[in-house]
A and B are shown apart, each in its own frame.
Chain A
Amino acid sequence: MPSFSMDNLVSIVPESIVLCIAIAVLMFDLFTAREKRHYLAYFSIVGLAVAAYETWQLRGLNMTTFSGMFVLDGFSIFFKMLFFIVAALSILISINYLKNEQSERGEYYGLILFATSGMMIMVSGADLITIYLGLELMALSVYILAGFLRGSMKSNEAALKYFLLGAFSSGILLYGIALIFGVTGTTNLREIAAFIQTGNLSKPVLILSMILMTAGFGFKIAAVPFHMWVPDVYEGAPTSVTAFMSVGPKAAAFAAFLRVFMVALPGIQPDWTVILSALAILTMLIGNVVAIAQTNIKRMLAYSSIAHAGYALVGFVTGGAAGMSSVMLYLLIYVFMNLGAFGVVVMLRKGGAAGDNIEDFAGLAKNHKFAAMLMLIFMFSLAGIPPTAGFIGKFYIFMSALNAGFLWLAIITVIMSVISAFFYLRVVIIMYMKDPSGEYELSAPYTIKFALAIAAFCVLYIGMNPGGLIDYAISSVAGLV
């Protein structure tokens, strides 16, 4: 056993900061009057900024700490930066939403920060146990957030559904971990890989373990057939929470998924490639086709989020440094466009009147040009039309798929993305063509406008100048594969 070194503490500085801020928010909440609670939001954002700064200082380091349980590398830092962006933007779009729903309680921000630290631990896990711990910290926080509107039946339903199914899927994941521990005698990712290399183990059990873990992670990333919870939970949860969980936990689960499979299970890559390709195709198919039939914007975005998990899975399947960095880039781009789209939905909600149905977007362009223009950008980006970032993300995935020889997968992906254009365009059409059903005000204070403007700017900027980000994503996976 190596003696405890300072490296251990250095490697968890960002996590510690986020946790401390989360606890501080919970405490300050007690002394803060209701109408001043938005200061807690700003406080959380400042905390996230500090954590982001510290994380950025750690870049370039590559170390494994806590006896091989925790790893600090380019891959984890990339995702941690992504989580800071997710958390900060989510908080910005939440402030006014909570006011409208009369649920301005400080725990909200605390829970977002707890979830964020859980995600950070998850992506830094070099051991299945660490990953599981991070995942549970994240999941428990998000279960509570989903039910944050205590007075709303739908929100309660969403939380309960999410909790039950989530607990079930965690159990399956744990079962997979137990099996792999059974055959390899370790939960450390690198040691598992080394053990598989020796070939001295029961392959069927290993495959079973891999399938169980795929199911566990598949639930979190919302891949078909583990997607049943997504539409109901996304619809019922507070919109700002939906925005958060459609990007943050999903990206975290993808990161852990990638790390486990790329680091621990490269020995059975041919086996999981087949399973994941099938999942990717099913996910894109169900997500895109069912999204067409939706009339509720949150449900539509839920299915769209399923479909996007499918695109990212295509990048995953292609493997290698290019495949991984394409998934990372895609997830980062997805953060901006999806948070942006949900942010516009949040803006439309005022006093429980409008906002949930796609028809509520009718005539948005007439009354609220700014909101309509933002939604236009996000919709075209989700559809993957240049010059938006969504195109760059998809392009990278196509590139790595073709490079790795997955021609048919690439062809199916492009066909699916044409189908997806239909329902994104429908939102645009309704905004620009139909007449508004009545005058309505947007709840658009500066915080949310600011967050959406940042998201839209990033969508366009990455769309036109992605070079630096691509290089960063490629360099981030350098030590991993």
Chain B
Amino acid sequence: MNSMGYRILSLVAFLPVFGALGILLHVKRSDNLARWMALATTAVTFIVSIPLLLNFDTSTHNMQFVENYSWIPSWNVHYTVGVDGISVLLVLLTTLLSLICVISSWNAIQTKVKEYMIALLLLETGMIGVFIALDLFLFYIFWEAMLIPMFLLIIIWGGPRKMYAGIKFFLYTLAGSVLMLLGIIALYYQGGHTFEIVKLMGQSYPMEFQYWVFLAFFVAFAIKVPMFPFHTWLPDAHVEAPTAGSVILAGVLLKMGTYGFLRFNLPMFPAATMHFAPYILMLSVVAIIYGALVAMIQKDLKKLIAYSSVSHMGFVTLGIFAFNTQGLEGGILQMLNHGVTTGALFLCVGIIYERTHTRMIADYGGLTKRLPIYAVFFMIFTLSSLGLPGMNGFIGEFLILLGAFTSQRIYAVIGTTGIILGAAYMLWMYQRVMFMELKPRNESLLDLSAREVITLLPLAVLVFWIGIFPNPLLSVLHETVKHLLIQVNGQAQFTASANWFLNF
């Protein structure tokens, strides 16, 4: 089944571990060596992951590049990995953002550099593992194990309230996931003593069972997304985490929640999904509006972007639970967009924070005069975040609203308000930071260095590429989404919604 002839997914997932081991063994050497080793590892991992996309067969919804070995025979646990259209994109996003994170932390991290790089690399393995795991046990191992390096990133290299933020992050996520663990075990017994996701998908479970296990999974993922009202850990974690931590958090970790919905909740418990969808849609629009309103009054740049994430992830769940091609594809695309754009925005904040050591909007103003290149990049990502046509955010949000309009008109209408609010807080933020009076303390700021341009440039390219020519990505998604819809709705409803779209 593996079209590559070698175990490409395992290679991509575990290369970072070898890099981390390498750094660990050179523990006495200089910090710079650790940086270069981490850079080399993430770069190689990224390069190795590219063939995944190039060789991806867009004509099938089946899992690709599958590897399957027996791992714990007594529990019928397998080491099974594979990707479909959704996960392959997320794997690439992860490898790209990890590489960018290493580069962006080059000067920002000056203490315990080796440990930092080791944590970052282990985190990368955990994240890739979550996206490629096709065995629930394996999935859970990666899902939880990833908490450890992220927790360390926050508590060791974080800001002043890092202890509070780190513990809150850890306990919130753990509390959600242990219930999912029970759900996993229940599924194991119900589904015929197997943890294999593909096998568990093809069964129909009793109604009541679906409801409970759906909820067990839902809470775990909703905390991770985070959906309103489970979002309170996010602003704290973002504000206290180091820049790379925020980028990973926004770019990849939040996607795990929505990925979980797509991989488990929708295909495995379609009846429960249908039953709970109205409530989830409601929570989604609440998140959109609430996140946007709270973002508007923030004084701290990172907090503002954190709340904007709550709002944007609300769009993603709105699209997913609209149950049609447009909504789902838009939702998935918006996951990637959010990863690129918000990741980039956190990078931008990190860059300016390194120079001034403040994140307060009021401390800035008039930066365009001193940092023109920076202002251009910041502008690109700001506009992308508020969904300007021609950029990635527009495509995602447009598809989502189209999908939502098809199925639940009222939510689409409310959601659109969120876009207006988004434009308001983003532009207002940009105005206060970049225009107006230049503060004397910011007179001597330097513009972007070549290294910083390197971190932002690929993301800017992606912003325009997805914005202008999203079809390659959508074609990767298409078969998978189609299959997912069949799993949720049954064939009949799928065609019905497609016809409706054609007649529109």
Contact = CB atoms under 8 A, between A and B. Distances in A.
A170 interface: no
A23 interface: no
Contacts of B147: 385
B166 A391 contact: no
B418 to A, nearest CB: 33
Contacts of A410: 182, 185
B158 to A, nearest CB: 9
Interface string B144-169: 11011001100110000011001100
B148 A422 contact: no
Given A386-B144, A399-B185, A433-B155, 20 more contacts: A369-B27, A385-B144, A387-B145, A395-B181, A399-B188, A410-B185, A414-B181, A417-B178, A418-B174, A421-B174, A422-B167, A425-B151, A425-B167, A425-B170, A433-B156, A467-B71, A467-B72, A467-B74, A470-B74, A471-B73
Chain B interface residue bracket vs A: 20 to 34
A226 interface: no
A429 B175 contact: no
B436 interface: no
B155 A432 contact: yes
B458 to A, nearest CB: 32
A414 B183 CA distance: 12
A411 B27 contact: no
B144 A418 contact: no
Given A369-B27, A387-B145, A467-B74, A414 B179 contact: yes
A421 B185 contact: no
A385 B155 contact: no
B186 interface: yes
A425 B145 CA distance: 14
Given A398-B182, A414-B178, A433 B144 contact: no
A470 B148 CA distance: 25
A418 B148 contact: no
Contacts of B501: none
Interface in A360-397: 365, 369, 380, 385-387, 391, 395
A434 to B, nearest CB: 9
A386 B73 contact: no
16 contacts: A380-B148, A386-B145, A391-B141, A402-B189, A410-B185, A411-B182, A414-B179, A415-B175, A429-B155, A429-B167, A433-B162, A465-B71, A466-B72, A470-B72, A470-B74, A474-B74
A403 interface: yes
A398 B181 contact: yes
Given A386-B141, A387-B145, A421-B174, A432 B71 contact: no
Contacts of A398: 181-182, 185
Contacts of A411: 179, 182
B156 A399 contact: no
Nearest to A470: B74
Contacts of B189: 402-403
Given A402-B185, A470-B72, A433 B163 contact: yes
A475 to B, nearest CB: 10
5 cross-chain pairs, A with B, having the tightest CB-CB distances, nearest first: A414-B178, A467-B72, A386-B141, A470-B74, A386-B144
Contacts of A425: 151, 166-167, 170
Interface in A423-481: 425-426, 428-429, 432-433, 465-467, 470-471, 474
Contacts of B144: 385-386, 391
B145 A385 contact: yes
A51 to B, nearest CB: 28
B145 A421 contact: no
